[in-house]
Structure 1
Amino acid sequence: MSDRRTFFKALVTTAIATSILPNIANADETKTTKANTPIKPKRLKAGDTIGLIAPSSNTWEDEEIHFAIDVLKSFGFKVKQGKYIFQRRGYLAGNDKDRAWDINNMFQDKDVDGIFCLRGGYGSPRILPYLDYDAIAANPKAFIGYSDITALLNAIYARTGLVTFHGPIAKQNFSEYTLQGFKDILFTPKANIDLGTPPLFEAREGQAEKKNRLTLVTGGSAQGRLIGGNLSLMVKLVGTPFEPDYRGKILFLEDVEEAPYRVDGMLTHLKISGRLNQLAGIVFGKCTDCTASGDSLSIEEVIKDRLGDLNIPVLKGVMIGHIKDMSTIPVGAMATLDATNKRLVLTETAVS
């Protein structure tokens, strides 16, 4: 009887493995090969049709969605709403498969030129298994968002090679800084431009820049393709078939409302999982409202402690994150990090 149970258990295990493991193996192969030959989407321009989707959470009220539509129209875009854009299910913008359907449909729709995410929030990792990566690769177009959208940006790049954009969401007004960086990357693409350099501070007697300072953690320079985004989302991708390849990459990170000990824990996870020692360099942007209470290390101390011994260039404080003045960072594009001189430079155009 024991042998019979063992036989049936092995049979079931084999059947499950056969149905699941090939997909994971193929994902790893795709991640290695596709990301080495990135696909650039076409640049955006006035008159383009932009698909608006909510792949994570939704807004509290419908009027905020109409506000987002008006923001996109201010660029001269025509807006196509996702079929499920007004759906809500607690902290999610509807059911997982519906949110994934909107992404798949927007990529396959020949009339759609680019895709904007309404907001971040929570939920994008839940829909990664439902995306049609072959269809996405066959219909490359700009895909833009940040925060929880980090999982989608990196999974799409890892599985298809498509350059994606860690940048503003539709549900926000663009500051002059944000607008200029967005257009430099997606409208009038340039190479050899600085990414994340703080806005010009008008120095005068008795005053110096305080808010947007760049902090050197480890000097040196490195070149590599960009991956990253929200730290907590990058940690959630570790060990999944949707994780980008860290080898030789420049990792950029940011987060919001995380205590220093939690940032410590997430960086430690990336470190002991072997991800950080594969990198060419690291850029840490802003940790917005990452306050501490009681006996705590500061965010600066955490970053220096966790990243300072990797023997790669590390720079802190660039304009990436949950901030008014935010840079648009192309995931998958080639960049040079000169930490010593506090510069992150995009060395190629990110769109065609």
Structure 2
Amino acid sequence: MSQPFSGNRRALLKLLGLTLLATQVPVTANSLPLLKPRRLNPGDTVGLISPAGLVDQKTLDEIAPILSQLGLKTKLGTHLFDQYGYLAGQDVDRAADVNAMFADSSVQAVLAMAGGWGCNRILPLLDYQLIRQNPKIIIGYSDVTSLLLAIYTHSNLITFHGPLGTSTWNWFSIQHLQRILFDGAAMTLQNLLSTPVETITKGKARGRLVGGNLSLVAALVGSDYLPDWQNSILFVEDIREEVYRIDRLLTQLKLAGILDQVAGFIFAQCTNCPAGEANEPSLTLRQVLADHIKPLGIPAWYGSMIGHIQDKFTVPIGGMIEIDAERGTIRLLESVVI
């Protein structure tokens, strides 16, 4: 009687093992060594992609001379000018352009041309192992938040929240991009005097910087495309969201347990975020931040120059930093490129 039972047991264990293997949670950033991309050099080629919203020839005509002045050449994604409703082409084609740029050895960096909406739709179609095997700079913001976080989470490659192709590439933004991506400077990011910060809770904290557009971070809650938040520094920004919606989004992060894990918090800029209609009762944004962030007791402030503004920092998602909430500074503790 024991032999048949033993054989069945072995078969059952084998089946269970295969089932567990098939349903295993994908590799996350904690499982792999952190990768830094190679720094930019004059003569490098930047791949231009549109993983979200539409791009037109005018946008390309505006950004190409700026990149040329930085000594960079450009290579267009195959589907850069595609259109599928409000998206820059079908999901499979937008994802194919991301994968192709990482696979292309002639391309040293990848620039997302526009935000809008669409990156969440392509995350399951990306080849994260390919991306990890071919680490290179990828930069953007707004809807591209999802792409940056997913690549950091599943490839453990530092990505960069910074200008899009459609951004205002002014002196301030270009200087910060050059210092970090070309020079590899472990610099301190501090606002212009014309953009003061407002401290929520004083103090300093160290951790890996993660975050991006608040709406997109919240939209990824419940998926496996968000990183480990433990002892990280969370930064968020947004645009054209009424205060009650910011309240709702932060509440979602709170209920998901994210806010209770982070070591520091930065609400960068909330551009055109009204309290509500003129006669409607509303909390202020400062009250909402006080309600959600002050009780955490972690260093936190509002107003960093990140997001939907003309003068913007380039910041490393996954980079090790130190923040000072009273001064409103972000200090890179090491170079984030090699």
Tell me whether the two structures share a fold, i.e. TM-score over 0.5. yes
Q: Determine if contact 2:161/2:315 at 8 Å carries over to the other structure.
A: yes
Match of 1:320 in 2: 306
User: Counterpart of 1:32?
Assistant: 30
Deviates more, 1:324-333 or 1:237-246: 237-246
For residues 306 and 235 of structure 2, the distance between their equivalents in structure 1, rounded to whole angstroms, comes to 8
Given residue 30 of structure 1, which amino acid in structure 2 is its aligned partner?
A: T
Alignment equivalent of 1:337, drawn from 323, 326, 332: 323
Tell me what 2:38 maps to.
42
Matched position secondary structure for 2:313: coil
Residue correspondence of structure 1 range 153-232 to structure 2 within 5 A: 153-191=148-186, 193-195=187-189, 197-199=190-192, 201=193, 209=194, 212-232=195-215
Which 10-residue stretch deviates more, 127-136 or 305-314?
A: 305-314
Match of 1:254 in 2: 237
State the shift of 1:177 in Å.
Answer: 1.2
Say yes or no: does 1:233 pair with 2:216.
yes
Output the CA distance in 1 between the equivalents of 2:282 and 2:97.
Answer: 43
| Secondary structure class of the residue paired with 1:25 | coil
The 8 Å contact of residues 185 and 335 in structure 2, kept in 1 or not, is answered as yes
- Whole-angstrom CA distance in 1 between matches of 2:273 and 2:23: 35
**1:9 maps to which residue?**
none
Residue 121 of structure 1 corresponds to 116
CA distance 1:273–1:250, change in 2 (3 Å): same
Match of 2:99 in 1: 104
Question: Structure 1 CA distance, aligned partners of 2:22 and 2:120?
Answer: 17
Q: Output the amino acid matched with 1:26.
A: V
Give the partner amino acid of 1:198.
N
Deviation, 1:176, is: 1.5
Q: Residue 161 of structure 1: CA displacement?
A: 0.8
| Distance (whole Å) between structure 2 residues aligned to residue 349 and residue 152 of structure 1 | 22
Equivalent position amino acid for 1:232 in 2 = S
1:12 maps to none
Q: 2:99–2:131: 8 Å Cα contact kept in structure 1?
A: yes
Once structures 1 and 2 are overlaid, which stretch shifts more, 293-302 or 108-117? 293-302
- After superposition, the Cα gap between the structure-2 partners of 1:144 and 1:23, relative to the gap in structure 1 and judged at 3 Å, is farther
Q: Please report how far the alpha carbon of residue 173 of structure 1 lies from its aligned counterpart in structure 2 after TM superposition.
A: 3.5
- Assess, with a 3 A threshold, how the Cα gap between structure 1 residues 260 and 79 changes in structure 2: closer, same or farther: same
1:68-124: CA deviation from partner (whole Å, max 9, x where unpaired): 333322212111100000101111000001000000000000100000011111010
* Stretch moving more, 293-302 or 231-240: 293-302
Identity %: 42
| Cα distance in 1, alignment partners of residues 132 and 196 from structure 2 | 39
TM-score scaled by length of structure 2: 0.91
Question: Given the superposition, is the C-alpha separation of residues 102 and 320 from structure 1 closer, same or farther in structure 2, using an over 3 Å criterion?
Answer: same
Matching residue's letter, 1:346: L
Counterparts of 2:41 and 2:304, CA distance in 1: 27
- The alignment partner of 1:278 has SS state of coil
| Residue identity in the other structure for 1:194 | T
Structure 2 unaligned segments of length 5 or more: list them.
Answer: 1-14
- For 2:176, the aligned partner's letter is G
Contact 2:191 2:329 in 1 (8 A): no
Secondary structure of the equivalent of 1:335? strand
The answer as to whether partners of 2:159 and 2:318 remain within 8 angstroms in 1 is: yes
Q: Structure 1 stretch 341-350 or stretch 67-76: which is displaced more?
A: 67-76
Count of residues paired in the alignment:
319
- Cα RMSD of the aligned pairs, angstroms, is 1.7
Q: What is residue 7 of structure 1 aligned with on the other side?
A: none
Matching residue of 2:266: 283
Contact 1:30/1:160 (<8 A) preserved: yes
Runs (4+) of structure 1 exceeding 4 A deviation are: 21-24
Question: Is the contact made by 2:40 and 2:108 (CA closer than 8 Å) also made in structure 1?
Answer: yes
**Does residue 140 of structure 1 match 2:135?**
yes
Aligned partner of residue 309 in structure 1, secondary structure: helix
Distance 1:111 1:22 in 2: 36
Structure 1 unaligned regions, length at least 5 = 1-14, 202-208
Q: How many angstroms apart in 1 are the aligned matches of 2:25 and 2:31? A: 11
Partner of 1:3: none
Q: Using the alignment, how far apart are the partners of 2:61 and 2:324 within structure 1?
A: 42
TM-score by length of 1: 0.87
Q: 1:337 Cα shift?
A: 1.3
Kept after mapping to 1: 8 A contact 2:167/2:310: no
Shift of 1:22: 5.3
